[in-house]
Amino acid sequence: MQQEPYRSTIDVHVILEREGEILLLERQGTGYCDGMFQPPSGHLEDGETVIQGAAREAREEVGVHIDPADLRLATVVHYRQRPELTRIGFFFATDRWVGEPYNAEPDECAKILWTDPAVLPSNTIDYPAAGVRAYLAGIPLTTYGWDEPASECR
């Protein structure tokens, strides 16, 4: 009997940088980690590259237009959310975009916050926080939740 191929959800995260700070969004009304912060992010859609997906998520969530050429790969996080669910998160960083970031999805976002990436709010979701920490440390690839069970909303 042939084993099924490994499958993982692909996520894209965008680290918008301005004057030493990054932009975070506070989740609300989604049923997942509401009240917690994360960078603009989402799932990769069928038929798009991770770079196109990152630019799309930034446009959908905070209303900015990013030329995909202005996105640089910051880090990759292989995250074990639960034993039966893993994710691969591509984190992109940029300090170039068109438009002023705003809360473009008020049904899913309570507010946006510019913050020092080295001192993330205590209620930042651990998975994206791991990506931001890896980026700041210059680590191109890291894992999270594999050595010990990960808390989904911590």
Q: Check whether 138 has a pLDDT greater than 90.
A: yes
Residue ranges per domain, the chain? 9-144
SS3 135: helix
Model confidence pLDDT, tens digit, residues 72-118: 999 999 999 888 889 999 999 999 999 999 999 999 999 999 999 99
One-letter identity of residue 131: G
* CATH number assigned to the domain covering 9-144: 3.90.79.10
Nearest to 14 by CA among 78, 81, 79, 65: 65
Q: Check whether 151 has a pLDDT greater than 80.
A: no
